[in-house]
């Protein structure tokens, strides 16, 4: 995340109200822009297709299929996202930039091969009522989406956050335009339009990467070597993505809340829309998270470890450590405050939004708890981010595994307790994970000087 921190600090140096506003707007767009673009594009494709695609349930089948493809591809690539991010960061630190592109090609080959081996047979077997073309498009889209998530890792390392946003805009814009013309081909036309858009997004990413990274070879698998890959990060990425989607899968497949849409894929009309609204409310929190963590916290983090490496005075090291701890706490508190403000805004208009969506007002408490849970997720991300900076990989693994397990168990229990408790599994699992994380973080920060010097 050093790249975005550099850009944000450069904007803040202008020391004006407009500069501060621009900084937070930039952080919000960079952190949440691709996700917002993808969700809005899928929704708009559905809206423009309703008058043409007959019967209308085909639109629901398209949106449900895309939702599962995004969820499954994120969980699948979760095994490599953090691990390859760390590998890339280590190679940049060691000035081995020439290894990045060949190893990205190696990882893309691995993801494509394994993803294809898993996706194509399953798509053919699990969708017997659909055309062969749909099944091939479904599996191909899964593979391309997986490659997109992998490509975004190195693009972030280039500090090319604007390129990420532009590529997502071009990719989903292409899908939207093609869907308008290809919707007459019904479900297969919409799937093909989305696939072409994702392929355009992937090509745009690869173009930026191949233009900016040097390479001495085309393909390497050095990232799989001994000492190059951290298993703790492999499973941390998996558990984090699994935890994010665990409650959704429970509500999709529980007989009380889920309904079949296409093949083996279910959806939950009751749960899905409130969760979607809740996630839109995290944009302010994500902006604050990036600004505070990647500017103030990182500044004193760098000063502390630079002093340790370069032999700074003990009083200076203690001072920088105290400032780093203070910035970490203030950053988390600011995230909580801004998310509370965003939640109040959703609470004020929540009833009207549910009315427009045709969802009974009895589910208004579900929207409220989902908004709170989405805010907790930003706080949880802030805690994890500090652990990644401190290189406490074991702590991060424990917290993400705890979150995923509790979200799965508590979500099942919440459905058994009745509609009033829907969403509490997601919120409660994050609350427990955050409390555990903060308790452990206090302990670790108190021992930071000792452990830092012992590891030198």
Can you give the residue ranges of every domain in the chain?
57-229, 273-454
Tell me how far apart the alpha carbons of residues 234 and 84 are, in angstroms, rounded to a whole number. Answer: 9
Bridge partners, residue 240, by sequence? none
- What count of Cα atoms within 13 Å lies in the side-chain half-sphere of residue 384? 23
Within 10 angstroms of residue 122's Cβ, the number of other Cβ atoms is 16
Q: pTM for the whole thing?
A: 0.89
Compute how many other C-beta atoms are within 10 angstroms of the C-beta atom of residue 446: 10
Consecutive 10-residue runs of the chain (456 residues): their mean pLDDT? 56 62 64 66 72 73 90 93 88 85 93 96 93 95 93 70 76 87 87 93 89 84 88 94 94 91 89 81 76 74 80 80 84 83 82 73 81 89 88 93 96 91 93 94 80 60
For the chain, the maximum distance between any two Cα atoms, rounded to a whole number of angstroms, is 73
> For the purposes of burial, counting CB atoms within 10 Å of the CB of 343, is it exposed (0-12), middle (13-18) or buried (19 or more)?
buried
pLDDT at residue 29, rounded to an integer:
63
pLDDT at position 35 is 65
Angle at the Cα of 79 (from 392 to 267), degrees rounded to 5? 115
pLDDT of residue 2: 47
pLDDT of residue 157: 60
pLDDT value of residue 1 = 47
Nearest to 335 by CA among 276, 391, 281: 281
The set of residues, in sequence order, having a beta carbon less than 8 Å from that of 363 and lying 6+ positions away, is 270, 274, 354, 419, 422
Amino acid 192: pLDDT: 94
3-state secondary structure of 359: coil
- Determine the pLDDT at residue 293: 73
CA–CA dist 139, 84 (Å, integer):
24
């Amino acid at each position: 995340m050093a790249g975005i921190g550099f850009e944000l600090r450069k904007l803040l140096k202008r020391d004006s109200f407009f500069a501060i506003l621009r900084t937070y707007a930039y952080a919000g767009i960079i952190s949440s822009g691709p996700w917002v673009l993808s969700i809005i594009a899928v929704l708009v494709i559905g809206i423009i297709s309703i008058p043409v695609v007959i019967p209308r349930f085909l639109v629901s089948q398209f949106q449900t299929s895309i939702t599962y493809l995004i969820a499954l591809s994120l969980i699948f690539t979760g095994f490599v996202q953090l691990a390859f991010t760390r590998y890339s960061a280590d190679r940049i630190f060691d000035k081995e930039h020439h290894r990045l592109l060949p190893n990205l090609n190696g990882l893309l080959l691995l993801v494509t091969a394994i993803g294809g081996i898993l996706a194509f047979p399953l798509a053919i077997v699990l969708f017997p009522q659909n055309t062969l073309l749909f099944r091939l498009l479904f599996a191909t889209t899964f593979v391309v989406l997986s490659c997109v998530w992998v490509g975004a890792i190195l693009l972030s390392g280039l500090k090319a956050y604007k390129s990420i946003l532009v590529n997502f805009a071009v990719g989903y814009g292409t899908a939207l335009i093609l869907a308008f013309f290809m919707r007459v081909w019904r479900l297969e036309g919409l799937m093909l339009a989305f696939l072409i858009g994702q392929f355009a997004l992937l090509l745009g990413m690869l173009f930026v990467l191949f233009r900016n990274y040097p390479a001495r070879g085309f393909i390497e698998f050095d990232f799989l070597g001994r000492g190059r890959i951290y298993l703790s990060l492999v499973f941390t990425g998996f558990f984090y993505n699994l935890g994010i989607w665990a409650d959704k899968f429970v509500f999709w497949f529980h007989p009380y809340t889920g309904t079949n849409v296409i093949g083996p894929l279910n959806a939950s009309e009751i749960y899905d829309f409130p969760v979607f609204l809740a996630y839109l409310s995290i944009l302010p929190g994500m902006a604050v998270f990036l600004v505070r963590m990647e500017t103030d916290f990182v500044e004193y983090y760098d000063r502390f470890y630079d002093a340790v490496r370069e032999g700074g005075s003990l009083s200076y090291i203690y001072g920088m450590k105290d400032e780093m701890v203070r910035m970490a706490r203030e950053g988390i508190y600011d995230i909580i405050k801004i998310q509370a403000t965003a939640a109040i805004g959703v609470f004020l208009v929540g009833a009207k939004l549910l009315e427009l969506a045709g969802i009974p007002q009895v589910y208004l408490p579900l929207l409220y708890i989902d908004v709170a849970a989405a805010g907790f997720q930003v706080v949880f991300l802030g805690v994890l981010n500090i652990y990644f900076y401190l290189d406490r990989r074991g702590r991060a693994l424990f917290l993400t595994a705890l979150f995923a397990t509790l979200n799965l168990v508590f979500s099942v229990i919440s459905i058994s307790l009745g509609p009033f408790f829907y969403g509490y599994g997601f919120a409660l699992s994050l609350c427990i994970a955050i409390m555990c994380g903060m308790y452990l973080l206090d302990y670790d920060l108190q021992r930071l000087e000792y452990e830092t010097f012992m590891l030198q």
